[in-house]
Amino acid sequence: MEEEKIALEKFKQGDEEARNLLIERNLRLVVHVCKKYANTNIEQDDLLSIGTIGLIKGVNSFNLEKGSKLSTYVSRCIDNEVLMYLRSTKKMNTEVHLNEPIGKDKDDNVITLEEVLENDDKSIEDTVDTKMKVKRMYNKIKEVLKDREKTIIELRFGLNGEKPKTQKEIAKMMGISRSYVSRIETKAIEKLADGFKE
């Protein structure tokens, strides 16, 4: 502990060797913090590299006068660095690629975002915005709705490429009452609305 204090004082006076010693001494904290994120789909080596960046930032910005322990402070910095990285990769995963299929046209041909962009009947921004919303909605339907809710929403709004159906038609197809279809539909729409608020 005393050794750490001396190294911190030396580093404050510009001693790079003391800084390196502090980083080396606290590398085990990187391993310890990164273990928490073992169930993410990020490679362990990548997590350790990101955690080490957090450790270096922590050692560089640590203030001895603030009264907190170096290990407590750098653990927080490592944690923050990993979390920031996880958030940024999550954002990257939700980006849409131009050649990624985003749906089918009425003749059952796969449409890519690139083809939509080439079709300039509508302003590009509007088309992309609509397609992104549609894609997001399809993802939410898959994510938050149960099978029966999903089927009813698809039939009601013609999301399966067919003409939208009335509650009465759906009730007949599924062998349930129209009021039950209505209840399931209302619940499904509420679930989707909540899903979009997240």
* CATH (domain of 143): 1.10.10.10
CB neighbour list of residue 151: distance below 8 Å, 6 or more residues apart: 174
On whether both 18 and 71 belong to a single domain, the answer is yes
Number of domains in the chain: 2
Which CATH number goes with the domain that contains 20?
Answer: 1.10.1740.10
* 65 lies in the same domain as 113: no
- Which of 64, 94, 124 delimits the end of a domain? 94
**Residues 114, 82: one domain?**
no
pLDDT (tens digit per residue) in 143-185: 888 889 989 988 887 777 778 889 999 999 999 999 999 999 8
- At 12, the pLDDT band (50, 70, 90 cuts) reads confident
The residue segments making up the domain with residue 10 are 2-94
Indicate if 53 and 76 belong to the same structural domain.
yes
106 and 41 share one domain = no
Minimum mean pLDDT among 54-58, 73-77, 160-164, 170-174: which range?
160-164
Name the residue among 198, 186, 93, 91 with its Cα closest to residue 145.
186
